[in-house]
Amino acid sequence: MVPDDLRYTKKHEWIKVNGDQGTVGITDYAQGELGDIVFVELPTKGKKVEQMKPFATIEAVKAVSELYAPVSGEVLEVNSQLTDKPELINSDPYGEGWIIKLRIEDPSELENLLSPADYEKLIEEEEGH
């Protein structure tokens, strides 16, 4: 269930690296915990985000969660489809439900992130909790 071409945060965001750009979303596990997502408060294009600082807010019916930037950088694009169809995050968290694309400022920050195997372990721990 955890795609092996991505890197992960402890707060359940993923990032797909493509050169100096990254696509960011939340994991399948995270969307399952939140339940039906009804609203996403997206950042504006051009905004600077910092590693592990909040960049967006995501709302389910009775839960709200901040999203943390896997790495620092500038927001290049936001998934404007989510404004009308936030449920894409539920139905396709690694695909159509992506949230932002950003320019990666410092590739070395990627090393602070979890590998697919480590992330899988994290989920197991949380589920066992």
Partner 1 sequence: MCWIPISAEERREMLSSIGVESFVDLVSSIPPQFRLRKPLDLPPPLSEIEISRLMLRLSEENHDLAHHICFLGGGSYDHWVPAAVSSIIERSEYYTAYTPYQAEVSQGTLQAIYEYQSLICELTGMDVANASMYDGASATAEAALMSYSITGRETILVSEALNPAHFQVLTTYTSGLNLRVKRIPLKKGGTDWDKLAGMLDERVASVIIQNPNFLGVVENLNQVGELVHRVGALLVMVVDPISLGILKPPGDYGADIAVGEGQALGNPTCFGGPYLGFFACRKEFMRKLPGRLVGATVDSQGRRGFVLILQTREQHIRREKATSNICTNQALNALAATVFLTLLGRQGIRDLALLCLQKCHYLQRHLCEIDGFKLRYPSPFFKEFAVVPPLSAKEVIDFLAEQGIFVGPDLGRFGMGDGFLVATTEKRSKEEMDLLIENLKEIPSAKRRG
Partner 2 sequence: MADKLIFELSGRGKVGYALPKPDVPPLFPEELLPPEVLREYPPQLPEVSEVEVVRHFVNLSQLNYHVDQGLYPLGSCTMKYNPKVGEELAKLPGFRDLHPYQPERTVQGALKLMYELEEMLCEITGMVRFTLQPAAGAQGELTSLLMIRAYHTKRGNPREKVIIPDSAHGTNPASTHLAGYRAVEVKSDPQGLVNLEELRRLMDKDVAALMLTNPNTLGLFESHIKEIADLVHQVGALLYMDGANMNALLGITRPGDLGFDAVHLNLHKTFSTPHGGGGPGSGPVGVNEKLVDFLPVPLVEKGEKGYKFDYDQPNSIGKMQGFYGNFGVMVKAYIYLRMLGAKGLREVSEGAIVNANYLMKGLKDYYYLPFDRFCLHEFVLSGSRQKAKGVKTLDIAKRLLDYGFHAPTVYFPLIVPEALMIEPTETESKESLDGFVEAMKKIAQEVEEDPELVRSAPHTTPVSRLDERKAAKDLDVRWKG
Q: Which residues bind partner 2 (CB under 8 A)?
A: 36, 38-39, 59, 61-62, 86, 129
Contact 8, 119 (CB under 8 A): yes
Identify the H or E element spanning 75.
strand 73-78
Q: Which is nearer to partner 1, 23 or 65 (CB)?
A: 65
Task: Return the one option of partner 1, partner 2, none that residue 92 interacts with (CB less than 5 to 8 A, by type).
Answer: none
Q: Tell me which residue of 14, 9, 6, 1 sits closest to 100, measured CA to CA.
A: 14
Report if residue 59 touches partner 1, rule: CB under 8 A.
yes
Identify the H or E element spanning 116.
helix 116-128
State the DSSP code for 33: H
Single out the segment in contact with partner 1 by CB under 8 A; choices: 42-50, 54-62, 71-79, 82-90: 54-62
Question: Distance of alpha carbon 7 from its chain centroid, rounded?
Answer: 10
Report if residue 63 touches partner 1, rule: CB under 8 A.
yes
Q: How far apart are alpha carbons 43 and 48 in whole angstroms?
A: 9
Task: Return the one option of partner 2, partner 1, none that residue 75 interacts with (CB less than 5 to 8 A, by type).
Answer: none
Q: Which is nearer to partner 2, 95 or 128 (CB)?
A: 128
Residue 57: CB atoms within 10 Å: 14
Q: Which is nearer to partner 1, 64 or 117 (CB)?
A: 64
Report if residue 64 touches partner 1, rule: CB under 8 A.
yes
**Residue ranges that bind partner 1, judged by CB under 8 A:** 39, 59-64
